[in-house]
Amino acid sequence: MERNAKLGSTLGPLDRTCEGEGCGRMVGREVESLSTCAACKMAFYCSHQCQRASWGAHKEVCGTWDQLEQGLPSAAAIRQFILDPVVQEVFLSVFCDD
């Protein structure tokens, strides 16, 4: 069973891990707490160094509609499955009449 998580603003469970490039430290395991991006409050970092290192990639989505909260691994797998074009085609053929 997945670890306990807090709900995000989109009401999905959050996976609190550092978003620093190559880091992935997890709250409750490797670190006690994480800092959030001051602008969007959706990105988490274990240190100022991790935040600086990931700023190049994060600034592209920071505060935009394209930004997603960190979800649990199962939520990411479900999102990927639902967005698969083959799955969408099958869904439309089964549930939508033309």
pLDDT confidence of residue 78 = 76
- For residues 75 and 12, the answer to whether their CB atoms sit within 8 Å is yes
**Closest by CA position to 4, among listed 25, 27, 23:** 27
Please state the pTM of the whole predicted model: 0.61
3-state DSSP: the chain helix, strand, coil percent, rounded to 5?
35, 10, 55
Mean pLDDT across 67-85: 74
- The alpha-carbon radius of gyration of the chain (Å, integer) is 16
Q: Which two tokens stand for residue 7?
A: 């709900």
Bridge partners for 36 per DSSP: 44
Query: 45-72 pLDDT, tens per residue?
Result: 999 999 999 999 899 989 888 777 776 6
